[in-house]
Amino acid sequence: MSLTLQRIPAFSSSLFCRCSSKFLDRLCSRMISKKMRVSDALACKETGSDVRIQGWVRSVRPQKDNLFLHLNDGSSLQPLQVVASSQLNTRDLTFGCAVDITGTLEKSPNKRQNVELQAQSIKVVGECNPMDFPFKIKERHPLEYIRQFPHLRCRTNAFSSMLRIRSEATAAIQSFFRDHGYVQIHTPVITSNDCEGAGELFQVEPTGDKKDSDDPHFFSVPAYLTVSGQLHLEVMAGAFSAVYTFGPTFRAENSQSRRHLAEFYMVEAEIAFTESLDDLMKVMEDLFKAATEHVFSNCTEDVELFHKHVAPGHREQVDPMLNRKFNVISYTEAIDILKSSSQNFTFSPEWGRDLQTEHEKFLVKHCGNTPVFVVNYPYELKPFYARDNQDHPRHTAAAVDLLVPGVGELCGGSLREERLQLLTQRLSQAGLEDTYAWYLQLREFGSVPHGGFGMGFERYLQCILGLNNIKDAIPFARFSHSCQL
């Protein structure tokens, strides 16, 4: 079998030669274009490179000869300006549509941006009808409005900024604990323990045909969605000197207020070989300051959006928190401050009663609008694991809450009761000695003084950004009578 080489006909060659150089340039650019994120393109200092960028159109401005687009892919608050020939404009190229654009990065003549993309081809990947789209071009929608669209609100500047900040804050918290020698523990979401003792739990059971008539409980005991990973961290603190967890927690509290979620994230830490609340307070303060400084340094534009448009002037409230040492007062001092004030509280402050949100916010203002630790709460107010101070005449526990401006309680913690006799006595009084037999056993085998705390992650974001409603600090809010998506 032989192969015959045939000469290309002359008419084909001439046809090829007549192809426009512009078409060839476009074809080649699509073959060699480097895929790039918007944030990387905006930071690019070398112009003239062929790139491919995919994202969503934030604005369209057609002119006689040129077409101007603003393109974003979620990697930055600032969009990339795209300049194209008006011939590339199509009816489906609208606000909100998804596009795939190839072109050349060039230095922009506009002083407000370093580069722009000179488009050679624009492909609409996903159409968007701007008349039906709930968010309108160049309109700043309030958070209350965009909250109605949990499936679409990530398309807005405010919410996408919050999500980038949340991601960066997560990384900052993880880095803080890693740099200080903590071991991360993945504590279970399903547990048989009611750590807080509040009873506001979501019970977990199978449905339908999977139920066992002989045993009503899938796990043979009642099981719940966790309210805290603390007890599991205490287990690990018997083998590691410092541990932490960062994950979802759940409260079945029937409330739709701006302060409550049924599902939220908690940062929790446990430290072995500590006998002082000062050790816990130092970690809380250092964590808050380190994470916030990291977020402010790495999400400058996103943070500025909140401090300028959502909570104007809030930055002036946060900066003092980073530059001043947190205050410390006792619970008894807190009650005295509240009772001596001229303010009329909805809940009358009395020793032995828990502090309400209105009390917490007043105490923060009284202390110069700087975070304040409240220590040594009444013994009867705290769960069984809080260490007994064995003081008289007012009986207190070695517990601490961190109160911050605008939010109230951000962190709560305590030294844990490591003395077997005292712990056994308290569990016995509560009728929990059998339920927590394993917890008592921890005190029998190499037990050490230890303590820990938890910080509400969404409350932390509220504090540093000035968010009024906690539902705006989480990607998908779950609360009483609402579980969309």
DSSP helix/strand/coil, 119: strand
Which residue in this structure is represented by tokens 């340039």?
A: 25
Q: Which domain holds residue 35?
A: 26-126
Question: Alpha-carbon distance 266 to 359, whole Å?
Answer: 23
Question: Per residue in 72-108, pLDDT tens?
Answer: 999 999 999 999 999 999 999 999 999 999 999 999 9
* Ordered DSSP codes for 431-448: T-TTTTHHHHHHTTSS--
Q: Number of folded domains in the chain?
A: 2
432 pLDDT exceeds 80?
yes
Q: Is residue 18 part of a domain?
A: no
The average pLDDT across 331-354 equals 96
Residue 236 lies in a domain: yes
DSSP secondary structure letters along 70-85: EEE-SS-SSPEEEEEE
User: 95-104, 251-260, 419-428, 475-484 — which is least confidently predicted?
Assistant: 251-260
Report the distance separating Cα 96 and Cα 126, nearest Å: 9
At 403-416, the pLDDT tens digits run 999 999 999 999 99
Q: CATH number of the domain that 45 lies in?
A: 2.40.50.140
CATH code of 297's domain:
3.30.930.10
What residues pair up with 414 in beta bridges, in sequence order?
Answer: 399, 452
Residue 305's pLDDT band (boundaries 50, 70, 90)? Answer: very high
More confident site: 239 or 195: 239
pTM above 0.75, yes or no: yes
- 77/187 same-domain check: no
Q: For residue 459, which of 265, 316, 286, 244 has the smallest C-alpha distance?
A: 265
Do 450 and 234 contact (CB within 8 A), yes or no?
Answer: yes
Q: What is the pLDDT of residues 344-388, one digit of tens each?
A: 999 999 999 999 999 999 999 999 999 999 999 999 999 999 999
Residues 292 and 354 grouped into a single domain: yes
Please tell me whether residues 96 and 194 are part of one structural domain: no
Question: Does some domain include residue 15?
Answer: no
